[in-house]
């Protein structure tokens, strides 16, 4: 019996005249995500993308990959049959018998896109439902809260399937420009990248590396996080910026209470330079109001003031627990909690100011040769293509 995968998308349908552009982009991203799979055919009609693998044993691994493709709202594994109630009912009773035997309530949901089909949806439900009841005496119909939903769809062919699998949602990668993610090894910034990426934004990442104060293992951890993110965004370059010299100079020459904020202003300025060169529209960070001293409202204003590019902080209103929940879902959590230090934690002041005055922090930063330090860092940057 042939199985195929039906993919549905959501917001793209609202795009009016531009809809085909988004559809093409989604199909292109799906092809890329499945390029290592067995040979398959893809086509789309009526807001559904049909994926037909040549070899049925690939279905499960295809579904796993599709779960990461932004723009997909739901995925179903369907059996294709004739546009014939006898045929479709046989497929159901043969292939879904395990699920139907294990439940006590069910419902048939019929959808008839082919309006020429001789039965209307309520009739299809009644007919197919009746036959299922004959075969499985353990079942009763519950239209409000059934344990199993059996879907029958009459399109250009007939299809039957059980419940939908949730997709990642969002917009297809590449449909909304590019942004530069400031990627540390922590829990927050990979989640921030995921959230902006989900809206169709391509990402590149920048990481500030303070060797030997932070180790190669810390760098590997960041690259590992980047490779997990790439599973969602399709591509990802990581720019590794040498940051030791700047941090040492800040430590030696700036007042202790401003260490962190001067460092954060440097990070933003360097990130902006590289982002501009790489054609990005915005910077993305994992900051959230009040999480640490450098993320109070006053501190965020001082950081923001260092750049002219918009800075997107998708976690701004989230609690740590909510962020952790997403990081578990997207599979970055276990890597993020590996205990390698970040450059931010190496030179942490004992008493950071939580209500910094912008002018005073700028005065502290200007004790250094800011332009030269930024240029050297940009020139020393290495790029890793994930």
Q: How many CA atoms lie within 13 A of 138 on its CB side?
A: 10
Is residue 343 within the footprint of ligand ATP (CB under 6 A)? yes
Q: Does residue 335 belong to the site contacting ligand ATP (CB under 6 A)?
A: no
Rounded CA-CA distance 27/43 in Å is: 8
Q: Is 190 in the site for Mg ion (CB under 5 A)?
A: no
Stretch of 93-101, 112-120, 122-130, 204-212 lying at the interface with ligand ATP (CB under 6 A): 204-212
Residue closest to ligand ATP, measured at CB: 186
* Residue 344 lies near ligand ATP (rule: CB under 6 A): yes
Residue 188 binds ligand ATP, judged by CB under 6 A: yes
Q: Shortest Cβ distance from residue 184 to Mg ion (Å)?
A: 4
Which 8-state DSSP code applies to residue 58? G
SS3 166: strand
For CA atoms 158, 161, 167, 169, the dihedral sign is positive
178-182 and 282-284 beta bridge pairing? parallel
Count of residues near ligand ATP by CB under 6 A:
19
When the beta carbons of 61 and 249 are compared against ligand ATP, the nearer one is 249
Q: Which of 72, 241, 267 is nearest to 164 (CA)?
A: 72
Whichever of 131 and 207 has its CB closer to ligand ATP, that residue is: 207
Interface with ligand ATP, residue 189, by CB under 6 A: yes
CA atoms within 13 A on the CB side of 175: 25
Distance separating alpha carbons of residues 31 and 24, to the nearest angstrom: 11
Q: In this chain, which stretch among 38-46, 107-115, 153-161, 185-193 interacts with ligand ATP, using CB under 6 A? A: 185-193
Select the residue interacting with ligand ATP from 47, 292, 378, 386 (CB under 6 A): 292
> How far is residue 89's CA from residue 360's CA, in Å, rounded to a whole number?
75
Q: Which stretch binds ligand ATP (CB under 6 A): 29-37, 150-158, 326-334, 342-350?
A: 342-350
Helices (H) and strands (E) in the chain, counts: 15, 15
Nearer Cβ to ligand ATP, position 34 or 181? 181
Contact segment (CB under 6 A) with ligand ATP among 15-23, 52-60, 76-84, 283-291 equals 283-291
Taking each helix axis from N to C terminus, what angle separates 244-253 and 370-379, rounded to the nearest 10 degrees?
Answer: 160
Which of 158, 172, 186, 234 binds Mg ion (CB under 5 A)? It is: 186
- Asked if residue 342 binds ligand ATP (CB under 6 A), the reply is yes
The dihedral built from the CA positions of residue 214, 219, 224 and 228, taken in this order, carries a sign that is: positive
For ligand ATP, which is the closer residue by CB, 23 or 342? 342
Instruction: Give every CB contact of residue 359 below 8 A, 6+ residues apart in sequence.
Output: none
Stretch that binds ligand ATP, among 63-71, 91-99, 135-143, 340-348 (CB under 6 A): 340-348
Where is 154: in which H helix or E strand?
strand 148-154
Q: What are the structure tokens assigned to 151, written together?
A: 């879907």
3-class secondary structure, 24: helix
Q: Which is nearer to Mg ion, 184 or 381 (CB)?
A: 184
Q: Smaller CB distance to Mg ion: residue 29 or 260?
A: 260
Q: Is 53 in the site for ligand ATP (CB under 6 A)?
A: no
- Interface residues toward ligand ATP, by CB under 6 A: 182-184, 186-189, 206-208, 285-287, 291-292, 294, 342-344
């Amino acid at each position: 019996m042939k199985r195929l995968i039906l993919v549905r998308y959501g917001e793209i349908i609202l795009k009016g005249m531009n809809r085909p552009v988004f559809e093409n982009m989604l199909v292109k991203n799906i092809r890329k995500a499945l390029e290592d799979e067995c040979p398959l055919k893809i086509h789309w009609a009526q807001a559904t993308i049909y994926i037909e693998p040549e070899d049925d044993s690939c279905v499960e691994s295809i579904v796993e990959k599709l779960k990461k493709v932004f723009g997909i709202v739901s995925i179903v594994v369907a059996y294709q049959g004739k546009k014939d109630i006898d045929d479709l009912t046989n497929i159901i009773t043969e292939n879904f018998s395990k699920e139907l035997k294990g439940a006590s309530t069910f419902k048939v949901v019929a959808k008839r896109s082919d309006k020429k089909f001789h039965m209307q949806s309520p009739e299809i439900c009644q007919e197919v439902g009746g036959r299922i009841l004959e075969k499985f005496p353990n079942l009763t119909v519950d239209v409000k809260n059934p344990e199993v939903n059996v879907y029958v769809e009459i399109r250009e062919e007939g299809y039957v399937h059980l419940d939908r699998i949730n997709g990642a949602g969002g917009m297809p990668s590449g449909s909304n420009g590019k942004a530069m993610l400031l990627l540390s090894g922590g829990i927050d910034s990979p989640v921030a990248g995921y959230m902006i990426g989900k809206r169709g934004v391509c990402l590149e990442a920048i990481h500030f590396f303070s060797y030997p104060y932070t180790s190669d293992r810390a760098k590997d951890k960041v690259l590992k996080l980047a490779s997990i993110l790439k599973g969602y965004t399709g591509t990802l370059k990581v720019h590794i910026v040498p940051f030791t010299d700047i941090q040492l100079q800040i430590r030696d020459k700036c007042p202790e209470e401003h260490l962190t904020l001067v460092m954060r202003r440097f990070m933003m300025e360097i990130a902006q330079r590289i982002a501009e060169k790489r054609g990005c529209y915005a910077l993305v960070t994992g900051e959230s109001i009040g999480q640490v001293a450098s993320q109070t409202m006053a501190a965020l204003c001082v950081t923001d003031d260092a750049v002219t590019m918009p800075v997107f902080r998708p976690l701004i209103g989230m609690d740590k627990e909510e962020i952790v929940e997403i990081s578990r879902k997207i599979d970055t959590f276990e890597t993020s909690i590996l205990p390698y230090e970040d450059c931010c934690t190496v030179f942490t002041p004992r008493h950071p100011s939580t209500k910094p005055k912008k002018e005073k922090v700028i005065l502290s930063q200007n004790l250094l040769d800011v332009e030269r330090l930024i240029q050297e860092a940009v020139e020393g940057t290495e790029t890793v293509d994930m």
